Amino acid sequence: MTVAARPDRVFITGASSGIGAALAREYAARGATLGLLGRRADALAALRAALPDPERHHCYAVDVCDHAALAGAAQDFLRACGGADIVIASAGISHGTLTERLDDLPVFESVFATNVNAMVATFAPFVAPMKAQGTPCRLVAIGSVAGIRGMRGAGAYCASKAAVHSYAESLRLELKSTAIRVVTIAPGYIDTPMTRNNRFPMPFLMPAGRFAASAADAIARGDSYRVLPWQMGVAAKLLRALPNPLFDLVFSRAPQKQRKEAA
């Protein structure tokens, strides 16, 4: 089952920057009407102004961890557009964490609140309306190759993305008898403001625009799971296959992501 090459109504969280903004530009170029949700009203307004037919798009300056406000934005978009064809939960944060540091516990909680709980809150208002539409629809979970195996110093981020993958798989089974397809996109290293903070080599770094075009094609096909770029998909399969002793030997001294220092 595929959706049209020019989907009508696409709701994207995390649209203020990075992958979310790249997806917004890609779908706008394909003729979609967008719901753009992010925390920064100024960034959303600037993005909207740069898109084709900006008056067609809707902006929502909302923190995805505010579930009531998120649901309100979803309801407004559904009313304004008469439904939704694609919902992309792209909002996410990443910080290095160490379990031995008690001051990192709030960071763990924040990462899970944004990367996992907010994804559930994003999809929830759309499921019943999409079922009622009876037309091909997509719920899209933005995961990460970081969710495939745990990396030292990145326990919160890796665990949150592993949870995203498992959650999306469960949701896919729940909705299998409907016209809604659940698509998991697992990016590798994509050139965004988030990855530019990394202080280690990033193999197969992919431009955000090229990622968005490939992701939109996978979403249109209804792929259940897609790693981008494809080279990282090969690397991901190798990572899964590594026995624990060999994995530990190879990655125990890998560079760590920078921790978020306490304010």
Q: How far apart are CA 224 and CA 220, in angstroms?
A: 11
- Given a cut of 70, whether residue 191 has pLDDT beyond it is yes
The pLDDT value recorded for residue 142 is 98
Angle at 39 between CA 163 and CA 76, to 5 degrees: 90
- Output b/e per residue, 138-177; b: 16+ Cβ within 10 A: bbbbbbbbbbbeebbbbbbbbbbbbbbbebbeebbeebee
* Arithmetic mean of pLDDT, 18-39: 96
The pLDDT value recorded for residue 255 is 66
Residue 250 pLDDT class (50, 70, 90 cuts): confident
Residue 201 pLDDT class (50, 70, 90 cuts): low
* Arithmetic mean of pLDDT, 169-177: 97
Percent of the chain topping pLDDT 70:
90
**Tens digits of per-residue pLDDT, 224-245?**
999 999 888 788 888 888 888 8
Which is higher by pLDDT, 154 or 88?
Answer: 88
Residue with tokens 């009876």: 134
Find out whether 239 and 247 touch, Cβ atoms under 8 Å. yes
- Given a cut of 60, whether residue 26 has pLDDT beyond it is yes
Residue 263 pLDDT class (50, 70, 90 cuts): very low
Picking from 199, 186, 192, 189, the residue whose alpha carbon sits closest to that of residue 148 is 186
| CA 121 and chain centroid, separation | 13
Q: How far apart are CA 191 and CA 180, in angstroms?
A: 30
Find out whether 92 and 141 touch, Cβ atoms under 8 Å. no
Which is higher by pLDDT, 205 or 76?
Answer: 76
**Tens digits of per-residue pLDDT, 82-119?**
999 999 999 999 888 889 999 999 999 999 999 999 99
Residue 149 pLDDT class (50, 70, 90 cuts): confident
What is the total residue count of the chain? 263
Q: Is 157 a catalytic residue?
A: yes
Q: How far apart are CA 24 and CA 19, in angstroms?
A: 9
The pLDDT value recorded for residue 162 is 96
- pTM (two decimals): 0.90
Q: Which residue in the list 157, 167, 189, 225 is annotated as catalytic?
A: 157
Residue 6 pLDDT class (50, 70, 90 cuts): very low
Find out whether 145 and 184 touch, Cβ atoms under 8 Å. no
Q: How far apart are CA 182 and CA 138, in angstroms?
A: 6
* Arithmetic mean of pLDDT, 141-154: 90
Residue 256: strand, helix, or coil: coil
